[in-house]
Amino acid sequence: MSMQDLSTLRAMHVIPGSPTRAARHLLSISDLDPGEITEVLDAALTLKAGSPAWIGRAGPLARKHVALLFDKPSLRTRVSFEVGIARLGGATTTLSAVDVGLGSRESYADIARTLSRYVDAIVIRMHSHAGLVELAAAAEVPVVNALTELEHPCQALADLLTLREHLGVLRGRQLVFLGDGNNVCHSLLLGGAAVGLHVRVATPAGYEPAPDIVAEAALLGRRSGATIEVVHDPAAAVAGADAVYTDVWASMGSEHEVAERRRAFAAFQVNAELLHGAPDALVMHCLPAHRGEEISAGVIDGPTSVVFDQAENRMHAQQALLLHLLRSRRVSLAPAEPTPLRSALAGVAALRP
C-alpha cells in the first residue's frame, strides 16, 4: 500500500456518532487542532513542574485503566506511558502482538470492541496505519497511535514540548529535519505547521515525505504563518536552523533496506561539519539512535543535544494528552470556559510544595 493510500485512509478515520458517545482518538497529530496542541503542551509543562505522583492515590487517572499494545519493539513509548499513567493514579495492561495474535487471531474490530469493555483507552503501536484506522473505527474508547508506518504523533507532542522549553516560543522558529521522510517527519510537519513552526525537510531524492502530508502541512502553515519546505541539499537546509532533527535511516519494518539506505543517506549524517551552518542549533533525535550513521557521536552527545529531554517529555506530553482525550468530548468547549483538562490540573498545582 502506498503512502498516498495510507494518508487517504487516515483522513477517513473520523467516526460518526453522537457527540456524547464518540471517543476522541489520536491517530494523527492533526486530530488535535492548534488550540488543543497548545493546551496539551501547557498542561504537560504544568505536570512536569508539579512532578505529581498519585501512585495508589486518587489522582486524575484514578480508576482509569489503559491497554498498551505493541506490535514493534519499544523502550520510551512503553515505559513513558506505563510510568506516566501510574503517576496519575491509573493502571495499565501491556500486551505484545503475540499475546493477542494481532492480525491473525481475530479482527482488529473485535479486538477494539473487546478492549473497549475493559479499559478506558487503547494505546497501540502497529505497522499498518490502515489497521489502526480499522481498529479505531470500532473502538468505543480513545485510541492513541503509539507509532505506525505513517505517523508518530506522541513523539511530535514531546518534541514540540522540548522546543517550547528550549526556545520559549514555537511560532516563527525554524526546525530542519534531515534524513528519511518517515513517520516522525510526517508528524513533525503536521504538528509544527499547526502551531506556526517553520519546518524544512531535507531528504535524498526518492525518500521525501508523503505528498499529501506535505500538502496538509502547507495548508496548516498558511493558517499559522509557518512555511513548509522539502529540499535535497543537507548543508543548505541547516542554514538558519533553530533545531536540527534526525531519525534512523531505516525505520522498523525497513531493516532489509539498510545497505541501500546507508548509501543513499550518507551525505545526510548530522555531524559537526554539517552543523557549521547552524552551530547553536538544538540537536534532536527521537531515539533509538545509531551513532556513526544518521548522527555522529560527538553531536548527539554534545552540548546542544536535547535528545534525553525529548525522551523525558514523552511522559509529560502523554499524561497531558490522555487527560485531554479522556475528559474531552467531540463537541468543543468555548475558549472562555474552564476546560476539563484545566480543572484536572488544578489538582497538580495543589500537590506542589
Q: Does 44 bind ligand NVA (CB under 6 A)?
A: no
Choose, from 13, 314, 316, 324, the residue flagged as catalytic. Answer: 314
The footprint of ligand NVA on this chain (CB under 6 A) covers a number of residues equal to 9
Task: Answer yes or no: 261 catalytic.
Answer: no
Give residues with Cβ within 8 angstroms of 87, minimum separation 6.
Answer: 52, 53, 54, 55, 59, 319
Choose, from 247, 261, 316, 318, the residue flagged as catalytic. Answer: 247
Task: Answer yes or no: 286 catalytic.
Answer: yes
The CA-based angle 221-222-225, given to 5 degrees, is: 70
Strand intervals (E) in the chain: 65-70, 91-96, 121-125, 143-145, 174-178, 198-202, 228-231, 243-246, 282-285
CA–CA distance, 27 with 16 (Å, rounded to integer): 16
* CB-based contact 105:131 (threshold 8 Å): no
Q: Does 251 bind ligand NVA (CB under 6 A)?
A: yes
Tally the C-alpha atoms within 13 A of residue 194's C-alpha that lie toward its C-beta: 23
Closest CA to 71 of 9, 152, 27, 125: 125
Bridge pairing between strands 174-178 and 121-125: unpaired
Q: Does 182 bind ligand NVA (CB under 6 A)?
A: yes
Q: How far is the CB of 62 from ligand CP (least distance, A)?
A: 26
Partner from ligand NVA, ligand CP, none binding residue 183, C-beta < 5-8 Å depending on class: ligand NVA
CA–CA distance, 208 with 210 (Å, rounded to integer): 6
Task: Answer yes or no: 125 catalytic.
Answer: yes
Q: Does 184 bind ligand NVA (CB under 6 A)?
A: yes
Partner from ligand CP, ligand NVA, none binding residue 248, C-beta < 5-8 Å depending on class: ligand NVA
Q: Does 162 bind ligand NVA (CB under 6 A)?
A: no
> How many other C-beta atoms can be found within 10 angstroms of the C-beta atom of residue 148?
27
Partner from ligand CP, ligand NVA, none binding residue 162, C-beta < 5-8 Å depending on class: none
Q: Does 252 bind ligand NVA (CB under 6 A)?
A: yes
Q: Does 112 bind ligand NVA (CB under 6 A)?
A: no
Alpha-carbon dihedral sign for residues 308, 154, 253, 182:
negative
Choose, from 155, 269, 310, 319, the residue flagged as catalytic. Answer: 155
Closer residue to ligand CP (CB): 87 or 314: 314
Amino acid symbol at 150:
L
Task: Answer yes or no: 247 catalytic.
Answer: yes
Q: Does 183 bind ligand NVA (CB under 6 A)?
A: yes
Partner from ligand CP, ligand NVA, none binding residue 75, C-beta < 5-8 Å depending on class: ligand CP
Closer residue to ligand CP (CB): 44 or 137: 44
* CB-based contact 47:345 (threshold 8 Å): yes
Among all chains, which residue has been given the C-alpha cell 468543543? 332
Closest CA to 125 of 191, 192, 179, 80: 80
Q: Does 286 bind ligand NVA (CB under 6 A)?
A: yes
Amino acid symbol at 37:
I
Choose, from 125, 129, 173, 200, the residue flagged as catalytic. Answer: 125
Q: How far is the CB of 30 from ligand CP (least distance, A)?
A: 19
**How many DSSP H helices and E strands does the chain contain?**
14, 9
Residues near ligand CP (CB under 6 A) are 74-77, 147, 155, 286-288
Choose, from 286, 310, 316, 318, the residue flagged as catalytic. Answer: 286
Closer residue to ligand NVA (CB): 159 or 247: 247
Residues classed as catalytic: 125, 152, 155, 247, 286, 314
Binding residues vs ligand NVA (CB under 6 A): 147, 182-184, 247-248, 251-252, 286
